């Protein structure tokens, strides 16, 4: 039997998985809607979770009847979210502790998000320890989630096989992206329900997760 092993790297989605920033995105969407005298509700925001920002901005622009180009919508939304993150960085339960544990153990880590690089770096720079070896953001890839490009790129930049990585995700497109890349993906539901099906791993929280829990993911695979 293969000896127990830590993952070669752990790959974290940002919004809703590492930090509870979906509230900030919804706030930014409501503010933009108000500027257009248009309606925007929680269900509208939830429907966009996990999509690429470009795809989301097209949907938002269409619904609001906006004359803004998708890139302009992205810039407006991102600016609001970054301002909120400067006020408070709302960690998801257990996320900071797990990330710090991984860094102390020498495990490679990456941030893999469909948010813009400037927002991803704003979060990374706000963390009070060296959190990530690699950041792959929405403007670093051609194909957004659910396409596997972002996760495959993160693994390539880290110099590891995607199949030797663990990825944490909270959205349907994010799970599909990490699964298609061949990672050992763990879904941690937040705003949206994640479908339980054969071979899919869902954890209710990252709180209390240890290195041994990550080792066991690969032990189960080898049984």
pLDDT tens-digit series, residues 76-94? 999 999 999 888 899 999 9
What's the order of all strands across the beta sheet hosting 108-112?
Answer: 134-136, 108-112, 9-12, 165-169, 184-187, 201-202
Q: Is residue 16 located within the same domain as residue 66? A: no
> What confidence tier does 1 reach under pLDDT thresholds 50, 70, 90?
very low
> What confidence tier does 221 reach under pLDDT thresholds 50, 70, 90?
low
What average pLDDT does this structure show over 95-100?
97
What average pLDDT does this structure show over 21-42?
91
Q: Is residue 94 located within the same domain as residue 166? A: yes
pLDDT, the chain, mean: 92
pTM for the model: 0.88
Query: Would the pLDDT of 206 be above 80?
Result: yes
Q: Is residue 16 located within the same domain as residue 40? A: no
- Alpha helices (runs of H) in 50-136, residue ranges in sequence order: 53-64, 70-87, 95-104, 117-126
What average pLDDT does this structure show over 61-90?
92
What average pLDDT does this structure show over 130-152?
96
Tell me the two tokens of residue 127.
């963390």
Predicted local distance difference test score (pLDDT) of residue 23: 86
Last residue of a domain, one of 64, 87, 110: 87
- Cα atoms in the Cβ-side hemisphere of radius 13 Å centred on 85: 26
> What confidence tier does 179 reach under pLDDT thresholds 50, 70, 90?
very high
Residue pair 188/17 in contact by the 8 Å Cβ criterion? yes
Rounded distance between C-alpha atoms, residue 28 and residue 34, angstroms:
10
Provide the residue range defining the domain that includes 102: 9-20+90-221
Based on the number of CB atoms within 10 Å of its own CB, is 41 exposed (0-12), middle (13-18) or buried (19 or more)? exposed
Last residue of a domain, one of 55, 72, 87: 87
Q: Is residue 166 located within the same domain as residue 112? A: yes
> What confidence tier does 222 reach under pLDDT thresholds 50, 70, 90?
low
């Amino acid at each position: 039997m293969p000896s127990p092993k830590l993952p070669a790297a752990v790959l974290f989605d940002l919004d809703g998985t590492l930090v509870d920033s979906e509230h900030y995105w919804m706030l930014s969407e409501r503010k933009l809607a108000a500027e257009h005298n248009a309606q925007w509700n929680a269900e509208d925001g939830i429907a966009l979770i996990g999509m690429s920002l470009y795809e989301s901005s097209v949907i938002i622009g269409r619904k609001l009847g906006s004359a803004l180009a998708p890139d302009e919508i992205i810039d407006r939304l991102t600016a609001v979210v970054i301002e909120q993150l400067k006020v408070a960085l709302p960690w998801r339960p257990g996320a900071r502790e797990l990330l710090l544990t991984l860094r102390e153990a020498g495990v490679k880590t990456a941030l893999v998000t469909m948010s813009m690089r400037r927002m991803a770096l704003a979060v990374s720079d706000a963390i009070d320890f060296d959190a990530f070896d690699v950041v792959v953001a929405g403007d670093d890839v051609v194909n957004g989630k659910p396409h596997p490009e972002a996760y495959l790129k993160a693994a390539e930049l880290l110099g590891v096989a995607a199949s030797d990585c663990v990825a944490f995700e909270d959205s349907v497109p994010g799970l599909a992206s990490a699964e298609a890349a061949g990672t050992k993906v763990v879904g941690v539901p937040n705003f949206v329900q994640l479908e339980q099906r054969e071979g899919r791993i869902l954890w209710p929280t990252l709180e209390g997760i240890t290195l041994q829990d990550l080792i066991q993911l690969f032990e189960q695979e080898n049984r």
